[in-house]
Structure 1
Amino acid sequence: MLSILSPSKTLDFDSPVSVTGTTKIPFPDDSQQLASQLAEATPNALRDLMGISDSLAELNHQRFQDWEIPTARNGGRPAACAFQGDVYRGLKTDQWTPKQWDYAQDHLRILSGLYGVLRPKDLMLPYRLEMGTSLKTERGKDLYAFWGDKVRDRLIKSMETTGAKFLLNLASQEYLKAIGPKTFPFPIITPVFKENKDGKYKMITVFAKVARGTMASWAIRKKAKTPKKLQTFDADGYRYDAASSKESQPVFLRG
């Protein structure tokens, strides 16, 4: 089973990490092309394109000005350690053993507007570029057109290499769209996480995001390979609910 995650807007490039065997981004030329185009945009243009504040626009303007292929020497950080949003609070990479890092390298992918797709140990530099951004390039009207089938094909290749039979989708719809889910050649499993609120079970976004990271980490520790194995997921108080589940959409309840 190969798991996919969305990136997060919040980044951590300060806390210490001790990951060995870091790797290079898969599409350096494409990432360089995007960074170079964005480096030509003014801070105001970035603000309007991304819908961000003036201060964030200034920050990312400088990031694109300075961008180069990430390495350990220029501040590159393993992707699974660089993101710090709700999903990554659940992922808890600081608790992974070296063997779990190696397993994650083969069985976990982070989708990205700038990098396309990242393995956990791939070195990256800080950036802000969501996959849904309507950035017009020579390849089309937005980043979906820019990446075309590259992200999809890379995931397929990873699954064929490891023998994975299912894609565990723990990403948002914005990022799932980048792989063409309707025609993806492997079954896609999209878990749903719900909380008991006033006697009714509802999906609460912040808790669901953390749960996605928790399940991704659990799948790595357990080396989960099938939807049936996912039914045993019980981390953080969740339990599988057979009555409301489908094979492609297992439901997990808490409370």
Structure 2
Amino acid sequence: MFLLISPAKTFATKAKVPRDLTMTSPRFLEEARTIMASVLRLSREELASMLQLSPKLRDEVYARLRTFFDPEVTEMPAALSYTGMVFRKLSPSTFTAEDWAYAAEHLHITSFVYGLLSPETAIRYDRMEGAVQLPDLFDGRLFDYWRDRLTPYLIEAVKRAGGTLLFLASDEMRGLFHWAEVERAVRVITPSFLVRQPTGRLKQIVVYTKMARGAMAGEVIRQRLEDEEALRMLTPEGFVFAPEESTDRDWTFVLG
């Protein structure tokens, strides 16, 4: 079982890194440096427009991105760097050494700067959007820049982990890959997390979905789950598998 999750827009300023954790270098480090060199040629206003930032966030994000090449900046493991809801529920700060080792082979985080990251990969602040265009780098969006690079890498990683991809990332992250090619090469399972309304209608509530994705990823790692039946038995954040709402590849978990 191989898991894919999205990054968060919020990033820690420091993290307690386990003493026995060996951080690794990003697989696509040269690409990341090339992207950031291009990004840093943008003005504050250009960056704010591309990332749709408020004036307050504009200054903060601009300043933090400009530390990317600063040798004094302390790098942190990817899983401990992001602070969004998915990562709170993933709770990598509670991983054992064995959990970290398993996660290194079975979990990746998407990134518009770094491409794909293992949980223990050392990174720097990398807030970016896939629709950003950097004409001096590539004729297209970052989605397009990464697609040829990441597709074969992801397929091989999934095959090494048993051939099944549990897609717990946001829908837009499919744009980083030739998704039809991924689906032909490996089995893809995409869980949805829906809340039953008083009317009986099922509705997605974004924050609950993020919580459930992180919790499910954490359980798979801690329990070393490889069996699909065991996966269906999970109840992340109270969501329960609903066979009547599910298909072979699109699984629905319902709360309420």
- The residue type equivalent to 1:209 in the other structure is K
TM-score by length of 1: 0.92
2:125 paired residue number: 126
In the alignment, is the contact (CA less than 8 A) between 2:77 and 2:123 conserved in 1?
yes
Residue aligned with 2:66, SS: helix
In the alignment, is the contact (CA less than 8 A) between 1:3 and 1:109 conserved in 2?
yes
- The residue type equivalent to 2:2 in the other structure is L
- The residue type equivalent to 1:21 in the other structure is T
Change (3 A) 1:137 1:108: farther
- Give yes or no for the alignment of 1:11 onto 2:15: no
Change (3 A) 1:30 1:107: same
Change (3 A) 1:182 1:23: same
In the alignment, is the contact (CA less than 8 A) between 2:193 and 2:209 conserved in 1?
yes
Unaligned runs of 5+ in 1: none
Distance 1:69 1:216 in 2: 33
- Give yes or no for the alignment of 1:33 onto 2:34: yes
In the alignment, is the contact (CA less than 8 A) between 2:39 and 2:134 conserved in 1?
no
Distance 2:226 2:248 in 1: 14
In the alignment, is the contact (CA less than 8 A) between 2:144 and 2:176 conserved in 1?
no
In the alignment, is the contact (CA less than 8 A) between 1:13 and 1:77 conserved in 2?
no
Change (3 A) 1:190 1:69: farther
1:50 paired residue number: 51
Distance 1:3 1:128 in 2: 21
1:171 paired residue number: 169
Distance 1:239 1:207 in 2: 13
2:249 paired residue number: 248
- Deviation (angstroms), 1:137: 4.5
- Deviation (angstroms), 1:133: 2.7
In the alignment, is the contact (CA less than 8 A) between 2:65 and 2:125 conserved in 1?
no
Residue aligned with 1:250, SS: strand
- The residue type equivalent to 1:217 in the other structure is G
- The residue type equivalent to 1:175 in the other structure is M
- Deviation (angstroms), 1:149: 1.6
2:102 paired residue number: 103
1:153 paired residue number: 152
Number of aligned residue pairs: give it: 252
1:117 paired residue number: 116
- Deviation (angstroms), 1:181: 1.6
- Deviation (angstroms), 1:178: 0.9
Deviation per residue, 1:39-70 (Å, 9 max, x gap): 11110110111111223222333333331398
Distance 1:199 1:217 in 2: 32
Change (3 A) 1:64 1:234: closer
Distance 1:203 1:9 in 2: 20
In the alignment, is the contact (CA less than 8 A) between 1:36 and 1:64 conserved in 2?
no
In the alignment, is the contact (CA less than 8 A) between 1:49 and 1:135 conserved in 2?
no
Distance 2:74 2:17 in 1: 12
Unaligned runs of 5+ in 2: none
Bigger mean CA deviation after superposition, 147-156 or 134-143: 134-143
2:239 paired residue number: 238
Deviation per residue, 1:53-111 (Å, 9 max, x gap): 223222333333331398xx631010001111111121111221110111001100000
Q: What CA RMSD, in Å, does the superposition of the two structures yield over aligned residues?
A: 1.8
- The residue type equivalent to 2:4 in the other structure is I
In the alignment, is the contact (CA less than 8 A) between 2:75 and 2:123 conserved in 1?
yes
Distance 1:41 1:138 in 2: 12
1:205 paired residue number: 206
TM-score by length of 2: 0.91
- The residue type equivalent to 2:16 in the other structure is P
